[in-house]
């Protein structure tokens, strides 16, 4: 359940019986013809869909992450590493004080990976806390489904093109884009990265049939649900 659909008393009642919650992490960055908020949209939706049967509270997504390589694309926002880690640290400290002890971080943006190490640090500082860091899009079952649909899948390509990340007034780009050299891309400053990438898609088809995308989504939701509901230490 979204925290936005709860009041404080409802959270307090939840904590009488359960200490789990979910924190989605996203980013605001270029995704070719898709929404700038793709990563936040997908992280929140997969978390909400996955948590629905159990009622585990899902906090609002963190809409900004680490995306310095896309700063030449208007609309992209990037935090510094220390800023992101400080904000996540403060959020989790607030959740712990409230009474949450089992937290699933559902991450929708690869650039946010430093938070994984922070989670380990926070658990060492607060014995009894359990924090899972879940990259929903490349978790084993979900990524296997991606590969089964098309092994050429990347940033801003078909694998992020869901009905809820498209823009109603933007026509789908046809065709397939050759994959970029990701290792080379990592050596470029933002301006050179934009010149190299063009529209921002790293490579692959721009769109797949909705039937395939909804099947992929079902796998991602089920895998995320398993992370929320199972595997906790006693």
Instruction: Express as a percent the part of the chain with pLDDT over 90.
Output: 99
pLDDT of 142: 98
- Examine residue 234 and state whether it is found in any structural domain, yes or no: no
| Residue 143 three-state SS | helix
- How does the average pLDDT of the chain come out, rounded? 97
- Examine residue 91 and state whether it is found in any structural domain, yes or no: yes
pLDDT of 70: 98
Instruction: Express as a percent the part of the chain with pLDDT over 70.
Output: 100
Q: What pTM value is reported for the model?
A: 0.96
* Cβ atoms of 206 and 167 closer than 8 Å: no
Q: How far is CA 143 from CA 66, 81, 132, 223, in A?
A: 22, 27, 18, 11
pLDDT band at 100 (very low <50, low <70, confident <90, very high): very high
pLDDT in tens, 124-139: 999 999 999 999 999 9
- Examine residue 101 and state whether it is found in any structural domain, yes or no: yes
Q: How many domains does the chain have?
A: 1
- CATH code of the domain in which 79 resides: 3.40.50.10310
pLDDT of 201: 98
- Examine residue 120 and state whether it is found in any structural domain, yes or no: yes
Q: What angle do CA 108, 202, 86 make, to 5 degrees?
A: 35
pLDDT in tens, 145-176: 999 999 999 999 999 999 999 999 999 899 99
pLDDT of 15: 98
Instruction: Tell me how far apart the alpha carbons of residues 86 and 101 are, in angstroms, rounded to a whole number.
Output: 19
Segments forming the whole domain that contains residue 13: 3-229
Concatenated DSSP letters of 202-231: -SEES---HHHHHHHHHHHHHHHHHHHHS-
Give me the helix-helix angle, 38-51 and 210-229, nearest 10°: 60
* Cβ atoms of 200 and 31 closer than 8 Å: yes
pLDDT band at 62 (very low <50, low <70, confident <90, very high): very high
**DSSP one-letter code for 34:** B
**What burial class does residue 111 get, using C-beta atoms within 10 Å of its C-beta: 0-12 exposed, 13-18 middle, 19+ buried?**
buried
pLDDT of 170: 95
């Amino acid at each position: 359940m979204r925290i936005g659909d709860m009041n404080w008393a409802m959270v307090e009642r939840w904590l009488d019986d359960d200490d789990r919650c979910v924190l989605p992490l996203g980013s605001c960055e270029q995704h070719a013809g898709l929404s700038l908020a793709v990563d936040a949209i997908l992280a929140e939706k997969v978390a909400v869909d996955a948590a629905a049967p159990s009622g585990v509270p899902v906090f609002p997504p963190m809409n900004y992450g680490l995306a310095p390589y896309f700063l030449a694309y208007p609309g992209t926002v990037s935090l510094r590493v220390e800023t992101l880690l400080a904000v996540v640290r403060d959020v989790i400290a607030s959740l712990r004080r409230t009474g949450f002890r089992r937290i699933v971080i559902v991450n929708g943006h690869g650039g946010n990976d430093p938070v994984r190490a922070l989670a380990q640090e926070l658990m060492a500082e607060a014995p009894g806390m359990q924090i899972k860091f879940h990259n929903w899009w490349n978790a084993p079952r979900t990524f296997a489904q991606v590969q089964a649909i098309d092994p050429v899948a990347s940033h801003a390509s078909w694998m992020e093109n869901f009905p809820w990340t498209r823009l109603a007034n933007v026509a789908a780009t046809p065709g397939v884009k050759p994959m970029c050299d990701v290792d080379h891309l990592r050596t470029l400053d933002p301006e050179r990265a934009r010149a190299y990438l063009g529209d921002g898609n790293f490579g692959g088809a721009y769109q797949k049939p909705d039937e395939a995308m909804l099947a992929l989504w079902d796998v991602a939701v089920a895998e995320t649900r398993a992370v929320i509901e199972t595997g906790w230490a006693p």
